[in-house]
Chains A and B, each alone.
Chain A
Amino acid sequence: MSAASTPLRDVDDAPPRERARPQGMALPFDVVLILGVIGLGICSLVAIKSSTADDITGDPEYYFKRQAVFFVIGGLLSLGMIKLDYTRLRTARWWIYGFLMVSIFAVKVIGTSAKGAQRSVPLGPFQFQASELGKVLIVIVLAAFAAERGRRLQERDTTARIMLLALIPAAFVMVQPDLGSSLVYGAIAFATLYFAGTPARHFLALIALGAIAISFVLVAAPAAGVEVLHGYQKERLTSFLHPSADSGDAGYQQHQSLIAIGSGQKTGRGEHATQTKFNFLPEHHTDFINAVVGERWGFVGAAFVLSLYALLIWRALRILTMAKDLFGALLAGGIVAMLLFQVFVNVGMTLGIMPITGIPLPLMSYGGSSVISTLLAIGLLQAIYVQGRSSAAMKGRIMGH
């Protein structure tokens, strides 16, 4: 393609193939995105059904049924959000932030603990995990705050405030302890700053500060006798560097996960999958569900699931470019970061290239809070898409006059 033959195109214009499509409103939402989500939902249910059959005696479909209910609830909420005027969230940002902080504290006060961590509040027959919903709420709050200061985004002050807004809940979530979620908050904050156009020097400063903080947490504080991270957290964070077969240490889970995935080979072991069946693979329906997919359906299955995530990311980025305003774009950017970070860290963890941080695989891992929160985020993306489309259409009509 040469510059001479291609005239510079107005950036406000939609891409040419968009234009080539009939501009009707036949489908008022992003169908590809919906199909991707439905695909992941089915994969999740199939994987959970097959991997948890022996987990609860007397009810082989316990997790399957509950996960199905979560998808239905989340799906309905998500569909409801398509028609939502998301700009209202911008005005309600402080209410949302307040709710986020209250819910995180509620966990601390009335929460129940599981496996040494206090992460959820009982809500009827379900457990509400505030830090999961918090991921979406943080996206909204940070996007709203950044959009509000749209004209002062180059200022150091803005960067500092955005980071502070994210780090306060992140710190409280971290002590629950839920290191994974707090890392996701950090990733969302970085993405918001990035899409908002924060200058590179601010990032460099933040990275430097982060390095200092990490060395403080890992080296200086323990030397002074203050343990910020739990021993097991540190061990998990570093054990992926030296996986071992010793079932006593933190590398065990990862080693078993590698065996599960590796043994799946090209097309999987199907019903002969033993790593899950005999419980060698811990947390097979939650954090390590990718290993279940890898073992049962092999490279074909795992690659298919990954492709669905790639599809999701692609659609989210595309929606980002179609957003009618900065707030919408930042919302979509935050959601992209939230999804991409979680998918990469979780899958990387099961593949032994990332540390064990307790981050679920969005839409695949069992868990109501995670599934519903992710579906809410998908609903938000749809709302941005719908409004972006109608805004573009209106602009098109104006320009057409």
Chain B
Amino acid sequence: MSIDPSNDRRPPITPQMAIRVAGVGVVAFVLFGIVFFRLWYLQVLDGDKYLAQARDNRVRTERIQAPRGEIVDVNNFPLVDNRKATVVSLDPASIPAPMRSAIAEYGQKAGQRAARPKGHQGPKVPVPAATGDLLQRYKRLGKVLVLTPKTINQRVVDSIVQVPYANIRVKTGVPAAQRDYILERHSEFPGVTVEQLNVRQYPEKDMAAQLLGTVGQITQQQLADKSYKGATGGTDVGQSGLEAQYDQVLRGTDGQYHIEVNAAGERRQATTAVQPKAGDQLKLTLDQGLQQAGESALKTMGGGLPGAFVAMNPNNGAIYAMGSIPTYDPRDAAPGRFSTQKAYNEKFINASTGFPLIDRADESTYPTGSIFKPITSLAALSSGVTTPETIFHDDTGCFQTGARKDIDVACNSGHERNGAINLVDALRVSADTYFYNVGKEMFAKPGQPLQTWARKLGITRKTGIDLPGEAKGTIPSAEEFRAITRAELACRKRKKVPSCGIGSGDPDFRQGDNENFAVGQGGLQATPLQMAVAYATIINSGRVPTPHLGLQTEDSRGITQPLDFPSKRKIDIQPAWRDAIMEGLRQAANVDGGTSKTVFDDGWPRDRFPIYGKTGTAERFYGPLQIEQDQAWYVAYSYDKSNPDAKPIVVVCTIEKGGFGADTAAPAARLILSKWFGVHPKVVHGDSTDR
């Protein structure tokens, strides 16, 4: 090593240089201090936060949809099962944030508008429209799925308003070609997912649609509801009928994929999978064959008129069949079938299509007409205004209902004179005069025996059937009349019209009203199911059965769990009363002069399957013209004489505007009974014009 002495040698370190080095040392110290502190802050103080973010980065959770349980009939015949369908959905996170907040605002405003009274709702809230890039995306997707961008936008808006974070279903049941097109060009469709999902399938199409009900994505309100506990946004839950009633049973538990993804969003591996747990199978007491026969009988006899029927085991309340006409294909009611709410409403919530969603068997209340007479009989017998032997003289076929001559007169149908009749005769021929008379006498009795007995037999009570939305009905009484009058007067005052049609404006419940009630009119409103239960109660000598459709559930391991519907009430019906009423019903269907005898004359094996029946023809007034169109009713009870406990059945049929009960409702009941007992079906119209 040589050191050149000619170099302009300076001392290796001058005081100035020492200061400069110290300065740099201080700077370096400060810089390292900053970095160390920052490192400490990030890793030690804030580490948890970043660790969670790293996990979020990596793991996406995907739901594995649990298939809903099947619904089968009593013979394991499938009524609702699942099929795989390709569903194209949009990730709401792929919708630009400004659009999402615009939709949220729209939802709020539209909700406020809907909450205001009709007529004061103000202008319609415009639906936020997609623009620019989003519109292009809708157009591209719409081209493949054969949907207009407007329709896609509508579905996006509806979905985000309903459940903001759930996947937006754009189309269900996408054909394979469209599916493959999207999958192959995935990068051209940002936010679009294509999944195979289980969707409901209805092998019997529109059969028992109102009972089975519909499924649809869970709504915001349902998410907050306890009965939908465990369901996350985007889950299909039962929205009506048995699907809603037994949602907990049928829904199952969704599984989860934990999928590790890389920065490009590609799947690496599924780390953990929670297996989905399929929903349990629900077995019904319903008999598919009888259900089909019942619906077709009602359609045949009613000629397309709306109606309902109930076929029930009177002993335990098991429903064999229960139907409502008109009906619908639940597949059509599934979300996404109609592009707009308007189209949906036109099909389902419209008088011209007969409001098919309504289950007329337990959600509609009607005046029952003469089929109410057994209840009147019970009330009359128990209150002592009559006995089975008491004779009533019906010489004119008319009855003086009030003080005014000629005006306060009500007559039997066709002014038929029945002569001297007792209770059994009155039930056989359905003598209105007899029941007007007991109605009059009960009006004078304390404690409103007729109203009390109507309540005892289940009118104004829910029957407790395992269906949501059951109606209660009403009983005319002094309290009821006052309430109606209050409502009527308040309505008149509010709307400034002479009549609202709620009531007459007369607050007094008079004797004539009680007489009217005694024949199943005058403000009585009951569901066909309530009448079936009331008849079953009489048949059971007072034990009130709980009607039910559910029989048992069965989980995926094959373990069955019976569903129990014990009888909740028992009322006191003395055997003599029951015998008299049953005899009246028997004669009505079997003895000359009986209102429905002719219906069962032709070929019905009375020896083997005895018939008890009661016709009903209820007066109803439709609309302002007060056009009278009677509603036909028939209640039948029968059993197999060789094995009385095996297949007892009580059938209630009603046809709106169906005319005389014997003409339309009774033949329909006969067809249902034929199916039930395996008797050759025959359409026999009755000729009785007794109400």
CA distance A24 to B609 in the complex (A): 127
Given A259-B50, A275-B54, does the pair A336, B24 have CB atoms closer than 8 Å?
yes
Does chain B have a CB within 8 A of A105? no
Interface residues in A58-90 (C-beta closer than 8 Å to B): 83, 85, 87
Q: When the two chains form their complex, are residues A340 and B17 in contact, meaning their CB atoms are under 8 A apart?
A: no
Q: When the two chains form their complex, are residues B262 and A386 in contact, meaning their CB atoms are under 8 A apart?
A: no
CA distance A299 to B11 in the complex (A): 43
Q: When the two chains form their complex, are residues B11 and A12 in contact, meaning their CB atoms are under 8 A apart?
A: yes
Q: When the two chains form their complex, are residues A265 and B44 in contact, meaning their CB atoms are under 8 A apart?
A: yes
Q: Mark B31-48, 1 if CB is under 8 A from A, else 0.
A: 110111011101110111
Given A278-B262, A280-B263, A390-B3, does the pair A259, B36 have CB atoms closer than 8 Å?
no
Q: When the two chains form their complex, are residues A266 and B12 in contact, meaning their CB atoms are under 8 A apart?
A: no
Given A261-B42, A279-B262, does the pair A325, B54 have CB atoms closer than 8 Å?
no
Q: Mark B1-36, 1 if CB is under 8 A from A, else 0.
A: 111100111111111111011011101100110111
Interface residues in B44-75 (C-beta closer than 8 Å to A): 44, 46-51, 53-55, 57-58
| Nearest CB of B to A69, in Å | 29
Q: Mark A74-111, 1 if CB is under 8 A from B, else 0.
A: 00000000010101000000000000000000000000
Interface residues in A250-299 (C-beta closer than 8 Å to B): 256, 258-266, 269, 274-275, 278-280, 282, 294-295, 298-299
Given A85-B1, A150-B8, A351-B38, does the pair A260, B44 have CB atoms closer than 8 Å?
no
| Nearest CB of A to B266, in Å | 9
Given A266-B43, A280-B263, does the pair A329, B17 have CB atoms closer than 8 Å?
yes
Number of interface residues, chain A, beta carbon within 8 A:
64
Given A263-B51, A313-B28, does the pair A388, B12 have CB atoms closer than 8 Å?
yes
Q: CB-nearest residue of chain A relative to B35?
A: A347
CA distance A68 to B55 in the complex (A): 33
Given A278-B268, A321-B17, A326-B10, does the pair A262, B47 have CB atoms closer than 8 Å?
yes
Does chain A have a CB within 8 A of B421? no
Does chain A have a CB within 8 A of B163? no
Q: Given B3, B43, B49, which contacts A394 in the complex, CB threshold below 8 Å?
A: B3
* Complex interface: chain B residues within 8 A of A336 (CB): 24, 28
CA distance A389 to B632 in the complex (A): 122
| Nearest CB of A to B44, in Å | 6
CA distance A325 to B42 in the complex (A): 43
Q: When the two chains form their complex, are residues B12 and A321 in contact, meaning their CB atoms are under 8 A apart?
A: yes
Q: Given B2, B18, B27, B57, which contacts A11 in the complex, CB threshold below 8 Å?
A: B18
Does chain A have a CB within 8 A of B261? yes
CA distance A302 to B32 in the complex (A): 12
Q: When the two chains form their complex, are residues B51 and A265 in contact, meaning their CB atoms are under 8 A apart?
A: yes
Q: Mark B645-689, 1 if CB is under 8 A from A, else 0.
A: 000000000000000000000000000000000000000000000
Does chain B have a CB within 8 A of A146? no
* Complex interface: chain A residues within 8 A of B50 (CB): 258-263
* Complex interface: chain B residues within 8 A of A150 (CB): 8, 10
* Complex interface: chain A residues within 8 A of B31 (CB): 340, 344
Q: When the two chains form their complex, are residues A302 and B39 in contact, meaning their CB atoms are under 8 A apart?
A: yes
Does chain A have a CB within 8 A of B362? no
CA distance A293 to B24 in the complex (A): 27
Given A262-B51, A264-B47, A353-B38, does the pair A320, B21 have CB atoms closer than 8 Å?
yes
Q: When the two chains form their complex, are residues B3 and A321 in contact, meaning their CB atoms are under 8 A apart?
A: no
CA distance A386 to B2 in the complex (A): 12
CA distance A269 to B53 in the complex (A): 14
Task: Find the residue from B53, B55, B260 having the highest chain A CB count within 10 A.
Answer: B53
| Nearest CB of B to A148, in Å | 10
* Complex interface: chain A residues within 8 A of B54 (CB): 259-260, 262-263, 269, 274-275, 280, 295
Given A85-B2, A303-B36, does the pair A274, B47 have CB atoms closer than 8 Å?
no
Q: CB-nearest residue of chain A relative to B53?
A: A259
Q: When the two chains form their complex, are residues A11 and B11 in contact, meaning their CB atoms are under 8 A apart?
A: yes
* Complex interface: chain B residues within 8 A of A262 (CB): 42-43, 46-47, 49-51, 53-54
Interface residues in A339-383 (C-beta closer than 8 Å to B): 340, 344, 347-348, 351-353
Q: When the two chains form their complex, are residues A264 and B43 in contact, meaning their CB atoms are under 8 A apart?
A: yes
Does chain B have a CB within 8 A of A44? no
Q: CB-nearest residue of chain A relative to B39?
A: A302
* Complex interface: chain B residues within 8 A of A299 (CB): 39-40, 43-44
CA distance A247 to B57 in the complex (A): 11
Q: Mark A292-336, 1 if CB is under 8 A from B, else 0.
A: 001100110011001001100100010011111110010001001
Q: Mark B245-276, 1 if CB is under 8 A from A, else 0.
A: 00000000000000011111000100000000
* Complex interface: chain A residues within 8 A of B9 (CB): 324-325
CA distance A383 to B492 in the complex (A): 110
Does chain B have a CB within 8 A of A244? no
* Complex interface: chain B residues within 8 A of A258 (CB): 42, 50
Does chain B have a CB within 8 A of A387? yes
* Complex interface: chain B residues within 8 A of A313 (CB): 28, 32
* Complex interface: chain B residues within 8 A of A256 (CB): 57, 263
Q: CB-nearest residue of chain A relative to B57?
A: A280
| Nearest CB of B to A149, in Å | 11
* Complex interface: chain B residues within 8 A of A325 (CB): 7-10, 12
| Nearest CB of B to A48, in Å | 19
Given A195-B20, A266-B47, does the pair A278, B260 have CB atoms closer than 8 Å?
yes
Does chain B have a CB within 8 A of A197? yes
Q: Given A11, A266, A279, A387, which contacts B14 in the complex, CB threshold below 8 Å?
A: A11
Q: Given A195, A294, A322, A324, which contacts B3 in the complex, CB threshold below 8 Å?
A: A324
CA distance A302 to B260 in the complex (A): 27
* Complex interface: chain B residues within 8 A of A351 (CB): 35, 38-39, 42
Q: When the two chains form their complex, are residues B24 and A302 in contact, meaning their CB atoms are under 8 A apart?
A: no
CA distance A244 to B647 in the complex (A): 72
* Complex interface: chain B residues within 8 A of A387 (CB): 1, 3
* Complex interface: chain B residues within 8 A of A259 (CB): 50, 53-54, 57
Task: Find the residue from B9, B20, B28, B42 having the highest chain A CB count within 10 A.
Answer: B42
Q: CB-nearest residue of chain A relative to B9?
A: A325
Q: When the two chains form their complex, are residues B21 and A317 in contact, meaning their CB atoms are under 8 A apart?
A: yes
Does chain B have a CB within 8 A of A391? yes
Q: When the two chains form their complex, are residues B15 and A391 in contact, meaning their CB atoms are under 8 A apart?
A: no
* Complex interface: chain A residues within 8 A of B18 (CB): 11, 321
Does chain B have a CB within 8 A of A194? yes
Q: CB-nearest residue of chain A relative to B7?
A: A325
CA distance A326 to B18 in the complex (A): 13
Does chain B have a CB within 8 A of A392? yes
Q: When the two chains form their complex, are residues B262 and A280 in contact, meaning their CB atoms are under 8 A apart?
A: yes
| Nearest CB of B to A94, in Å | 19
Q: CB-nearest residue of chain A relative to B14?
A: A11
CA distance A280 to B7 in the complex (A): 56
Q: When the two chains form their complex, are residues B16 and A197 in contact, meaning their CB atoms are under 8 A apart?
A: yes
Q: When the two chains form their complex, are residues B43 and A87 in contact, meaning their CB atoms are under 8 A apart?
A: no
CA distance A322 to B53 in the complex (A): 49
| Nearest CB of B to A392, in Å | 7
* Complex interface: chain B residues within 8 A of A340 (CB): 24, 27-28, 31
Q: When the two chains form their complex, are residues B11 and A266 in contact, meaning their CB atoms are under 8 A apart?
A: no
Q: Given B24, B39, B44, B47, which contacts A317 in the complex, CB threshold below 8 Å?
A: B24
Task: Find the residue from B17, B54, B262 having the highest chain A CB count within 10 A.
Answer: B54
Q: CB-nearest residue of chain A relative to B43?
A: A299
Query: What are 20 A-B residue pairs whose CB atoms fall within 8 Å in the complex?
Result: A11-B14, A12-B11, A262-B43, A262-B47, A262-B53, A263-B47, A265-B44, A269-B54, A274-B54, A278-B263, A279-B264, A280-B54, A299-B44, A306-B35, A321-B18, A340-B24, A340-B27, A351-B38, A351-B42, A352-B42
Q: Interface of A with B (CB < 8 Å)?
A: 11-12, 83, 85, 87, 150, 191, 194-195, 197, 247, 256, 258-266, 269, 274-275, 278-280, 282, 294-295, 298-299, 302-303, 306, 309-310, 313, 317, 320-326, 329, 333, 336-337, 340, 344, 347-348, 351-353, 386-388, 390-392, 394
Q: Interface of B with A (CB < 8 Å)?
A: 1-4, 7-18, 20-21, 23-25, 27-28, 31-32, 34-36, 38-40, 42-44, 46-51, 53-55, 57-58, 260-264, 268
Closest A-B pairs by Cβ, 6 of them? A262-B50, A265-B47, A263-B54, A278-B262, A299-B43, A263-B51
